[in-house]
Each structure stands twice: as structure tokens, then as C-alpha cells.
Chain A
Amino acid sequence: MFEDLNDLYQQVILDHCKKPRNFREMTPCSCSAQGRNPLCGDQLQLFLDMDGDTVRDASFVGSGCCISKASASLLTDFAKGKTRADIETMFASVHEMIKTGKVIGDVGKLAVFAGIYKYPARVKCAILSWHALMSALKGGDQEVTTESEQN
């Protein structure tokens, strides 16, 4: 019945939402940030363990839909071992891809989110954890929301 949704709920996404990786609190951690989607009330907390400019470990906890959980799971996997600059570059590519479907450069496994732009109501779900990651990298313990993302 839901074949047409295969570009939204790809196998990788379903797998990561059913068995999210790095789904745990991290204490102590170098920095963390809260992300909240005011549309649905979903929230997640993202934790980073930094070694200088490099992410040694990343994890998250929280509640959310399949898309937002899978996004946080894949993103924390991706972030490990990356530098701040790597992550900023990837954020720019992934943000563009999630919103428009255009893939710039190699986004690796994160390419599974290339079909989300066709579901405008779900774009924020995929982007939430990225905003939390960028906020954590800025060292801010403050909360970010997806409010600035236009539907």
C-alpha cells in the first residue's frame, strides 16, 4: 500500500529508526544541545565528546518520528572522527539536499534523505538533529528550534 513512500522511508531509514545508533546519554560530555520542533513538540538532546576540533564521540536521546530519529542516528554515526570544518561543509550540503533534493558532492549514507524535499511537512524532522549538532558545536547549551525553516 505504501510503495510510493519508498523514497521517504528507505530501508536504511527504517533500520535506523527501529534501531537507533548512539542512542544514549553521554556524561560527562564536552558539549550538548537541545533541538525542538515546535510543530510537533518533538525534542532531542545531542551530546558531543570533543578532542580539540575533532568529534571523538557523538550520541543523542529524545523522542521523535522515524525520520528525525533516523536522521539523528545517521548523523551521530557520521560525526564521529570528523572535524568542525568537515561537519560545517556537510551541513551545508545536507541542508540543501533535504530542502531541494539537489545533492552536491559526496554525502555518503546521508543520501537516503535526498527524497525528503517531496514531503515538505517532514523536512523539519530531518533537519532537527543537524540544528542541534551545529548548536552543540558552537558550545551553546541553549535550545534550538526548527522554527526558522520554512515549510
Chain B
Amino acid sequence: MSTPHHPDWSTLREDFPILHQQVHGKPLVYFDNAATSQKPRSVIRSLVHYYEHDNSNVHRGIHELSNRATAGFEAARVRTAKFINAASADEIIFTRGTTESINLVANTWGTKHLKTGDVILLTELEHHSNLVPWQMLAKRTGARLVYVPVNGDEGLLDLSQLDALLTPQVKLFAMVHISNSMGTVNPVAEMCAQARQRGITTLVDGAQSAGHLPVDVQAIGCDFFAFSGHKICGPTGIGVLWGRTAVLEAMPPWQGGGEMILSVGYHKTEYKHAPHRFEAGTPDISGPIGLHAAMDYLDAIGRENIWRHDQDLATYAYEQLAALDGIRLFGPQTGRAGLVSFLLNDVHAHDVVTLADQAGVALRGGHHCTQPLMHKLGVESTARASFYFYNTRAEVDRLVAVVKEIQKFFRG
């Protein structure tokens, strides 16, 4: 058995049925974890169990199955609060994912608080999902977007400018915790502290961090934290928005419908308190139940262990790849999260990914939903290998061997 202090990584790998297959006749190496993670058997079983035994609608019925479904759904909320050390389960709103969480904040908090002349401060590292909703909000309200700049291929933010950028016009500072295309780990606690001193509301995009390192939203000191279940061993279709109670209670609802009301008349409706005010209609019920199982699974391993493993693989991969000729590597040289983005001279990222796939290695090639960042770095796309705890150094060796073969293929 694995303990939180000494996980047995090769045993954990056995928990993932999908990893044990051949792709194009080669053993699968799954290095697209930043896009979505694989699911352990315990998560898959929790979904099957729910549909075979407890399936019912939540918060409505009085019968036994509805009670069970409601209990499972609300237990997941409590579990999620614990997962990120929220002060209360009422601060956990279930959404479809990070993208919907951020859109919820933009449409409710944003519409209420922003006006012409206000500034939304972002960073140049942002994923489209922490950028486009703010552009849309800016267009609606007349607010402006300003960005904390990155320094170049290393993907580090120039935080020496932050003080000057946090002007009195800034109403919101939204930032990515871990960059999905560079692997940069932002010092979000310090960034939020600077904003907070000036009374600025903060949002952290935790899509790449929540399942990879211990997250404590109270220690980070943000006002909102968003993440997706599918990137942390949970099912697709479920995500989380955490918000401070005081901030949530002052927010108008977003979508209207069932579940979010106290009483409805033909002309007037009284809304529930958070989080139910923000969860209109029948929610994804199996999603939180699967997410609950995923959180239990990750915390049995220990996220501090997962983080160490991620960093070990990333450092190893970075060193091996940096030793090759004709390669351009992106992201910080030290302290990177569990991914490596790269480009080969004269070989397009899509060709790298197609060839690697033929060798059984699943990579991602493209702009990784960070197109403005790619433009700034003067590239259209990169190839990316992103790791999780079930990956091994031997798999990284296979990646490096394949990259060498790809170089040969296009040189020859």
C-alpha cells in the first residue's frame, strides 16, 4: 500500500485501466495531462455505482433515492471545500469547469462592479478562458484590459511592474496559477496580497494547479478560485468556483431557473443564498460524486508528493531535451510545473505531434489556447508534453528518443 509519505508510483499506475494499451502498436505514453487527466478505477466505479444505485434528482424529492443523490451531491461540496481549504462549503459553486466558473464571475460580479474607465488587470500568460470573458465584459461595460508582461521564452512575469500596474482604476486582478503552455508557477499569494492591500478583487485560475499541488485558498488570499474536475482525475463536465462568502453574497444571480429560488411569483422572485443561487436547474450530479472520489484518491497520494513527482519529471525532461541540438524550449529553467513546451527547428509542432503519436506518445501541439502569448513569443504553436503522477522517467526517455527520430526524419 502507498502512504502519503512514500507513494508507490508503479502501483498507482495500475489504478488507471486506460494506460495499459497499445497505440499504433506501441505502448501508450500519455503526455497530454494538461489537456485532461486520466481517471482511476475508483472514480469510474463511483459513477457506475451512482447510476446503478442512487440516481435521482437532487434537492427536490422526498423519497429515498433523492435523499441519497442529494446527500452525495452535498457531500462532494463539503469535500471540495476541504480540498482547497475553503472556510465553508457554502463557498463552493459547482460549474461545468474553469471556463464556466470564470464566465460566472464576469457575468455577475463583473456586470455589477465594472464601469467605463475601470481596469481589469490580467497577465500575458492567460489561457483564453481567463481572457475572452474579460474582453466580453470590457466591451459591455467600457472597462479596459491591462496586462502584466512576460519576459520572453522563459514565461516569467515581470512582477517588478506590478506595483505600478495596480492603479486606482484596477477593479479586478485575474491571474493564472500555473501556465498551461509555459509551466510557469506564479507567486499568486504575493500577487493577491499586493492587490488586496489596494482593495482590488482577485481571481486565480487554478485549472493547472488544483490537482498538482496543495491549494489553500485562504493562504493564497484571493477572492475567487476556479478549477476543472477533468484535469484532476475527475469526470468532464464538472468544475468549481470558490468565492469568499462576503463577495458571493453581494453578487446577483447569473442563470435563472429551478433550484436557485426561494419563492417565485409571476413578476418577482426571491433568490436563495450562495451557492444555490448560482446553480440554476438540475445540475451535473454524477460529476460532483466522481469529483469527490478523485479528490479522495489524490489526497491519499498527497498533493505534495504529486508535486514533487511532477517537478522531477519536468526537470528531467527539460534537461534531456535541452541537450539536443535544434530545439527551442519554453518556460522557466527552474521551478517549473510538470510540463515542457518545445519547438524543433524547421519542424512544425503538428508534425512533431503526428510523428510522436505514431510512436505511441500522446503530445499536444498548437497554441494551447494562449494565442496572444504565442504571438508575443513570435511562434504559432509549440509541442507540449505534460505529466502526471502516473508518468515515469522511462516514458520521458521514450519521448526524448522519439524527438531524436523526428529530427532525423525531417533532416534525412
* CB interface residues, B 369-412, toward A, < 8 Å: 371, 374, 380-381, 402, 405, 409-410
Contact B355 A122 (CB under 8 A): no
Contact B366 A64 (CB under 8 A): no
Contact A4 B366 (CB under 8 A): no
Asked, given contacts A40-B366, A41-B374, A65-B348, whether A122 binds B381 with beta carbons under 8 Å apart, the answer is no
Contact B348 A66 (CB under 8 A): yes
* CB interface residues, B 137-178, toward A, < 8 Å: none
CB distance from A129 to the nearest CB of B (A): 14
A7-35 vs B, CB cutoff 8 Å, 1 = contact: the mask equals 01100001000100000000000000000
Describe A's contact surface by its main secondary structure: mixed
Complex-state Cα separation, A125 to B303, whole angstroms:
40
Contact B358 A2 (CB under 8 A): yes
Contact A5 B350 (CB under 8 A): no
Q: How big is chain B's contact interface, by range?
A: 20 to 34
| In the assembled complex, A77 has its CB within 8 A of some CB on chain B | no
A2: B residues at CB distance < 8 A: 355, 358-359, 405, 409
| In the assembled complex, B190 has its CB within 8 A of some CB on chain A | no
A-B pairs with beta carbons under 8 Å apart, 21 shown: A1-B402, A2-B405, A4-B358, A8-B354, A9-B351, A14-B410, A18-B410, A40-B365, A41-B366, A41-B367, A41-B374, A41-B380, A42-B348, A63-B380, A65-B349, A66-B347, A66-B348, A66-B410, A119-B354, A121-B350, A122-B350
Contact of A41 among B346, B371, B410 (CB under 8 A): B371
| In the assembled complex, B24 has its CB within 8 A of some CB on chain A | yes
| In the assembled complex, A111 has its CB within 8 A of some CB on chain B | no
Chain A residue at minimal CB-CB distance from B409: A2
A121: B residues at CB distance < 8 A: 350, 354
A14: B residues at CB distance < 8 A: 410
Contact B402 A5 (CB under 8 A): no
Asked, given contacts A1-B405, A63-B380, A64-B348, whether A40 binds B367 with beta carbons under 8 Å apart, the answer is yes
CB distance from B330 to the nearest CB of A (A): 15
